[in-house]
Structure 1
Amino acid sequence: MAQAKCDHTGDEAPSHAIRTLKKYPNRRLYDTQTSSYITLADVKKMVLDGQEFVVRDAKTNEDITRSILLQIILEEETGGVPMFSTNMLAQIIRFYGHTMQGLMGSYLEKNIQAFIEMQNRFAEQSKGMYDPKSFSPELWTQFMKVQAPMMQGLMTNYLEQSKNIFVQMQEQMQKQAESLMPGFGGFPGANKR
């Protein structure tokens, strides 16, 4: 059973029943927990709140969670400030049907997770800065002196993780190519027998 583990903090989700939403042919979403119809905006709030849920087609019981999440992304991309450039979307589309499709999905997922971890570490280290009672110009100056090297360290760590993920992806590509064309001399180790 596929489900949306919409946990933006990276923490383990509490052990409770997964919320079930049903999508009816009239395009309406029904929340079985609250016994009421909801909108995509409500589903987006569930994602932001880190709630686990699954969306099922009311007629077939098919899991359509991904399709609902993609609808939310589409709405976000068409309104406001888009996250993805046209070029980036075109590049992603080019990976569909390509032998590297699975590796690219894994690469993007691991990169996003590394970025979230970096963001969480930064938020944890900057706690207290948002409390108006403890905020002062001196504290801000001190915070910035500490944060510059820390941010540089976090970004270096993120870039190193991203590089390692990319290297792993390249190694998997090479192994896949070697297994598909074992006699081809263009791969290191291909002629070792």
Structure 2
Amino acid sequence: MSEPVRLIKKYPNRRLYDTKTSAYITLGDVKDLVLKFEVFKVLDAKSGEDLTRSILLQIILEEETGGMPMFSSELLSGFIRFYGSAMQGMLGKYLENNMKTFVDFQNKLQDQSRTMYGAGDNTHMQADFWNQFLNFQQPAMQSMMTAYMDQSKKMFQSMQDQLQTQTRTMFTGFQANPGDKVDK
């Protein structure tokens, strides 16, 4: 049986309260929950509004402002341009599917490395292994990622082409003849 969703309440003083541990927590603690794959929900203590996405975006913002950012300004600008467009929902689903594929790929590589180098929970050794592996295999990884991105680009273009074809087909029956008069 799966565990119930962990409830975190956000109070007006901006503090987060973990109802499972009966203690106040920080965004860093919430990040740790994410890293441990814990299922949780953040609710506004007063209104009951779901604030989970907002808290996750805050964590991403903190990560982006400290250290090495993952998203370029160009990429973020592209995201902003998609808001409000007809393709917004499709882009979200596309990114979600690609992220899942990328994580699945990463998990397969990790499983293979465990099989080759032992199954112990040796996190430090794994980090060293991945650093060495990526430094050694960087050109191959870049080539593979380029091929993956090209494939994704082709898939996205194919989806756009299908949408255009479906739209044309749908509106073909609505063509007006130039000689027809329209009632005013």
TM, length-normalised to structure 2: 0.72
Structure 1 residues 76 and 171: alpha-carbon distance in aligned structure 2, compared to 1, 3 A threshold? same
Question: 2:156 maps to what in 1?
Answer: 166
Match of 2:102 among 91, 115, 136: 115
Aligned 8 A contact 1:118 1:158 in 2: no
Question: 2:128 maps to what in 1?
Answer: none
Letter in 1 for 2:156: F
Question: 1:48 maps to what in 2?
Answer: 35
Work out whether 1:67 is the aligned partner of 2:33: no
Structure 1 residues 83 and 52: alpha-carbon distance in aligned structure 2, compared to 1, 3 A threshold? same
Question: 1:129 maps to what in 2?
Answer: 117
| Larger Rg, first or second structure (1 or 2) | 2
Shift of 1:125: 0.5
Normalized per residue, which structure has more helix?
2
Tell me the SS of whatever aligns to 2:21: coil
Letter in 2 for 1:70: L
| Unaligned stretches of 5+ residues in structure 1 | 1-13, 136-142, 186-193
Letter in 1 for 2:117: M
Tell me the SS of whatever aligns to 1:56: strand
Q: CA RMSD in A?
A: 3.4
Letter in 2 for 1:96: Y
Q: Quick one: distance in 1 between partners of 2:166 and 2:7?
A: 39
Shift of 1:169: 3.2
Aligned 8 A contact 1:19 1:54 in 2: yes
Structure 1 residues 156 and 90: alpha-carbon distance in aligned structure 2, compared to 1, 3 A threshold? closer
Shift of 1:171: 5.0
| Unaligned stretches of 5+ residues in structure 2 | 126-132, 176-184
Q: Which has the higher contact order (CA 8 A, sep 6+)?
A: 1
Structure 1 residues 82 and 176: alpha-carbon distance in aligned structure 2, compared to 1, 3 A threshold? farther
Question: 1:140 maps to what in 2?
Answer: none
Aligned 8 A contact 1:107 1:165 in 2: no
Aligned 8 A contact 1:22 1:29 in 2: yes
Question: 1:76 maps to what in 2?
Answer: 63
Structure 1 residues 92 and 103: alpha-carbon distance in aligned structure 2, compared to 1, 3 A threshold? same
CA distances 1:28-86 after superposition (whole Å, capped 9, x unpaired): 00000000100000000000000000000000001110000000011111111000000
* Percentage of matched positions with identical amino acids: 56
CA distances 1:88-138 after superposition (whole Å, capped 9, x unpaired): 000010000000000000000000000001000111001153779xx9xxx
Q: Quick one: distance in 1 between partners of 2:84 and 2:170?
A: 17
Aligned length: 160
